Structure 1
Amino acid sequence: MSRPAAADSAEFYHRYINYTQGDSVKEIIANHSKEIYDFYNSLPEEKVNYAYAEGKWTIKQLLQHVIDAERIFTYRALRIARKDKTPLPGFDENAYAENDGSVNRTSQSLKDEFNAVRTATDFLLNSFSETQLNERGTASDKSITANALCFIIYGHLLHHKLILEERYL
């Protein structure tokens, strides 16, 4: 299965897809999984409560956000790959952040959850056949393929890695 075409997702998601390197789901996993794992697991303990500006998320909130978003994107990919044509709703990332409880968690517990979610995601994405990756559904009122969602999952993680590097670390 090749990289998603422009029509495979809403334009908003193209920026995430463009962060990825590789021409298939298996290639983006091979190219980025270790890099992402290493980066997020090396976030410094002394900065986990840091936000680079008033009203911006802390590193702990950002880590919880990528966990939540990965779960949502993965759920969408699973439903679409399994030919579930039920339109899937969007989510308000700011409402999630306001209610995520990350302030009461240790950074290690967030990293452990991140690692568990990442491992489960990679198993799921690697299990999809080409036919399943080609399946199309609706999420946030927009047409999207399971394949595009796989690239979006990785692109979203890479997007936030860049933000962390530029603004937090």
Structure 2
Amino acid sequence: MIKIGRPYIEDAPSWYPYFFDLAEGDDLIEALEINKQQTINLIRSIPASAENHSYAEGKWTVKQVFIHLNDDERYYAYKAFCCTRRVNAILELPQGEDYNKDFNAQNRTLTDIADEFIIIRDATISLYKHMTDAMLDFKFDNTPVYTARSVGWMVVGHNVHHHNLLKERYGV
């Protein structure tokens, strides 16, 4: 199986390196697998009584944080897919209130969200397992700079970032 090494800083937007630094290891598939287990362990450690906890007024609940992780992983995986298939789809996440309005969290449980995370992460891993170096490092001209390789490492670092916030600000 192919080993997917660390990303190249020049193949990523300026805010990605922060997330790259949070991701450990030197093989993306292994990092995705380890992070998957860390995320499942974290979710399972949260009592049902804390699912709707928010550390401050107007901040996400614990459930909303994990829904956000699921949503963003779908987004990043599709972005990576577009790179590998050379489909120039300029995909930028909406910013501000519109993006964060309705997670439908009130009708979900952490168990349900965890089950969804496993399916999404397994799909991400499957996508990356079949990429060549040419697919991983392809860049479009005249678009924001990113590659499938950099996006994959972003997925891991983004999860670690939110794990840290959950521990520091939510007391999880």
TM-score by length of 2: 0.87
Of 61, 64, 67, the residue aligned with 2:64 is 61
Q: Which structure dedicates a bigger proportion of its chain to helix?
A: 1
Matching residue of 1:114: 117
Q: Which structure dedicates a bigger proportion of its chain to strand?
A: 1
Paired residues for 1:1-169 under 5 Å: 1-92=4-95, 94-137=97-140, 142-168=144-170, 169=172
Which amino acid in structure 2 is aligned with residue 42 of structure 1?
A: S
Which amino acid in structure 1 is aligned with residue 155 of structure 2?
A: I
Which amino acid in structure 1 is aligned with residue 164 of structure 2?
A: L
C-alpha separation in 2, matches of 1:127 and 1:40: 29
Compute the displacement of 1:113 (Å).
1.1
State the Cα RMSD in Å: 1.9
List per-residue Cα deviations over 1:104-144 (Å, max 9, x = no partner): 22222212111211111111122222211111248xx5210
Compute the displacement of 1:94 (Å).
4.2
Q: How many residues align?
A: 167
- Stretches of 4+ moved more than 4 A in 1? none
C-alpha separation in 2, matches of 1:93 and 1:148: 24
SS at 1:143 equivalent: coil
Mean CA deviation greater in 41-50 or 20-29: 20-29
C-alpha separation in 1, matches of 2:96 and 2:110: 20
Mean CA deviation greater in 15-24 or 58-67: 15-24
Which amino acid in structure 1 is aligned with residue 10 of structure 2?
A: A
Compute the displacement of 1:100 (Å).
1.6
C-alpha separation in 2, matches of 1:157 and 1:93: 20
Distance 1:2 1:149, change over 3 A: same
Q: Percent identity over the alignment?
A: 29
C-alpha separation in 2, matches of 1:87 and 1:26: 25
TM-score by length of 1: 0.89
For structure 1, list consecutive stretches of 5 or more residues without a partner in the other structure: none
Q: Does the Cα contact within 8 Å between 1:76 and 1:149 map onto a contact in 2? A: yes
Distance 1:121 1:137, change over 3 A: same
C-alpha separation in 1, matches of 2:69 and 2:166: 12
SS at 1:136 equivalent: coil
